[in-house]
Amino acid sequence: MKALSDQLSPAIATFLAASYTVDITDLEFQQTRKEFAGDITLVVFSLLRSIKANPVSLGNEIGAYLVSEINWVTDFNVVKGFLNLSIADEFYVDQLNQIAATPSFGHLDATPEKGVALVEYSSPNTNKPLHLGHIRNNLLGYSVAKIIEASGQAVVKTQIINDRGIHICKSMVAWQKFGKGTTPATEGIKGDKFVGNYYVRFDQEYKKEIQVLIDRGSSEDEAKANAPLFLEAQAMLRDWEAGEPTVVDLWKTMNAWVYKGFDVTYANLGVAFDSLYYESETYLLGKTLIEEGLQQKIFFTKEDGSVWIDLTEDGLDEKLLLRSDGTAVYMTQDLGTALQRFRDNPSMQGMVYTVGNEQDYHFKVLFLILQKLGYSWANSLHHLSYGMVDLPQGKMKSREGTVVDADDLMVEMSQTAASIAEELGKLEGMSQEDKTSLYHTIGLGALKYFILKVDPKKRILFDPESSVDFAGNTGPFIQYTYARIQSILRKADSAQNSFIALCKIAEKEKEIIKHLMEYPNLIQQAAAQYSPALIANYSYDLVKLFNSFYQNISILGEEDLERRSFRVVLAQQVLKVLKQSTGLLGIVVPERM
């Protein structure tokens, strides 16, 4: 189904081509202002860039043509450069029937010619638990994957697990020195939190050593480079890359602790993956690519043995690809991961990297290097760059332990939802188990909507309390409206839920149908822009339209059976689209609230 503007555009384009010999397909429409008659307005002024004509005369010509050629355009009026078109009620009824006849309205099945899109998100380090920043990453990536899939392209949800490097060795060194043989099991703590505590401990002890060296006369840079703990971490990284058995065994043990913790967090957050890649494996392929680049003279070696690429002619700078001691950097593994993913998915038609905007430069370099290496698919790589999540007290820092833990935040959101729901007193008769499940659903819905309603490029100041509000532009408000519609439909006679052929409908009913008609186009737009915010705000607008309708027009109290049947079907379709749109955001809508 097409939006109303898209159904009008071909006829207008045909008229303009025949009457003015111009090819105009990009037409501007807007909602008709309430003081004028009409359902949709064509902005005639925008046509004057290509057509020399009086806007009022041109509007009248187009209006008369549409009334004569399209049976559901019943009337028109022109106000200055605006053509207001009136649409027959029968048209809206027919559109609603088409929506009702399409179970997955707006969502397309994947077709082979579109290939596969990979969407990478999460991609954590195995030295700390997931935090609020990871939550935005996961929610964005998962939602974008769902939206692309709904647009008709097969999707592989993937992540690269950063399980090697100096930061991992820091946790390992700290556990060796201060852990005294304890484990997550002995301490009764999730594995990712347990390991993260040693990452913080390393930083604390490292700073003490730095200060000692400074007090002995070293400069700050010298102290940072020569602190004993840091030197131990560097030595451990070299031993790991050399395959030293005891180091590798410790690495496997501590990573296994972390993975178990991650799995719990992902399950609670409601995200999942189709494929996993590990930096400890892909960096080797990255090293192979660097060797190939050296042979092709794309890369060069400096006197200390480090490998670089010079991108100054491309407006960038020189980029390190391999350290002088032969150890890999992030770019090494990212090159290897990209190639491995293409090999695993030869029908790949694009890949989205969901990574914060602090890495904008990194991805410019990555994509450019892959292009220089001759990989044509590098042109279809996209960096979904998103803004950071701020807190009232400032920026989070993992190594200092000043982060909002993802697990703790989800518990807090559930508790806040419970407190507000209990105050409203709408859950009489529900078991405690059902209430607990509902609180989790509401809390997560609040969290997800608060984050996803914002354009990905913008920074977010996260406020947990305002996000759990049963009124306004919030997840719980949308969930509550869904539950309200469910309640209405439970009371409706099933015999009423048949298709309708009404000939007169109310303005508020038209507004809802017009909004429903926009849904298929919106999915395509959101997929093209990688923007869950479009879906989130569409859902909110749909909820506002339905609530306005519900407050002013009776559904079950309508005595006319045909009209009541129409309104029941209308409520059903709002419910259906609302469940689909919120599903694209990863939000669960409850049957009762």
Q: Are residues 80 and 36 in the same domain?
A: yes
Of 470, 490, 492, give the one whose Cα is nearest residue 481.
470
Q: Which residue has the higher pLDDT, 131 or 99?
A: 99
Instruction: Give 426's pLDDT tier (boundaries 50, 70, 90).
Output: low
Domain boundary (46, 66, 87) is at 87
Question: What residue has token string 């097969």?
Answer: 154
* Domain boundary, last residue among 87, 109, 126: 87
Is residue 67 one of the residues assigned to a domain? yes
What element of type H or E holds 355?
strand 348-356
What's the pLDDT band for 405 if we cut at 50, 70, 90?
confident
Q: Establish if 46 belongs to a structural domain.
A: yes
Same domain, yes or no: 157 and 59: no
Residue 539 pLDDT > 50: yes
Q: What is the pLDDT of residues 327-342, one digit of tens each?
A: 888 899 999 999 999 9
Q: Single out the residue of 475, 466, 453 nearest to residue 593, CA to CA.
A: 475
Residue 165 — φ and ψ, nearest 5°?
120, 175
| Structural contact between residues 154 and 117, judged by C-beta atoms closer than 8 angstroms | yes
CATH number of the domain at 360, please: 3.40.50.620
Compare 392 and 92 and report the one with higher pLDDT: 92
Q: What is the mean pLDDT of residues 496-523?
A: 85
Number of H helices, E strands in the chain: 21, 14
Instruction: Give the C-alpha distances (Å, rounded to integers) separating 513 from 103, 516, 542, 577.
Output: 16, 5, 10, 11
> What b-and-e string marks burial along 471-495, b requiring 16 or more CB atoms within 10 Å of the CB?
eebbbbbbbbbbbbbbebbeebeee
> Residue 162: what residue type?
N
Supply the range of the domain harboring residue 378: 118-164+175-186+253-400
| Assigned domain for 109 exists | no
Looking at per-residue pLDDT, the higher value among 542 and 404 belongs to 542
Residue in 452, 558, 572 with CA at minimum distance from that of residue 506: 558
Could you give the percent of the chain with pLDDT greater than 90? 82
How many structural domains compose the chain?
Answer: 2
Q: How would residue 518 be classed by pLDDT, with cut points 50, 70 and 90?
A: very high
pLDDT at 388 over 90: no
- At 188-247, the pLDDT tens digits run 999 999 999 999 999 999 999 999 999 999 999 999 999 999 999 999 999 998 999 999
Angle at the Cα of 400 from the Cα atoms of 398 and 406, rounded to 5 degrees: 35
Instruction: Give the rounded percent of residues in the chain with a pLDDT score beyond 70.
Output: 95
- One domain for residues 160 and 50: no
Residues 18 and 157 occupy one common structural domain: no
Q: Report if residue 158 sits inside a domain.
A: yes
Provide CB contacts within 8 A for 500, sequence distance 6+.
93, 96, 97, 562, 565, 566, 569
- Residue 332 phi, psi (nearest 5): -60, -50
Q: Is 267 in the same domain as 157?
A: yes
pLDDT of residue 412: 87
Q: Could you say which of 400, 435, 466 is where a domain stops?
A: 400
Tell me how far apart the terminal alpha carbons of the chain are, to the nearest angstrom: 32
Do the domain assignments include residue 203?
no
Q: Is residue 523 part of a domain?
A: no
List the one residue out of 536, 550, 387 whose CA is nearest residue 473.
Answer: 536
Residues 55 and 182 in one domain: no
One-letter identity of residue 3: A
Strand 116-120 vs strand 348-356: parallel, antiparallel, or unpaired? Answer: parallel
Task: Indicate whether 392 and 326 sit together in one domain.
Answer: yes
In whole angstroms, give the CA distance from residue 233 to residue 168: 9
What's the number of CA atoms in the CB half-sphere (13 Å) around residue 140? Answer: 32
Among candidate residues 564, 538, 385, 562, the one with its CA nearest the CA of residue 473: 538
The arithmetic mean of pLDDT across residues 448-456, rounded, is 95
Q: What is the mean pLDDT of residues 338-351?
A: 95
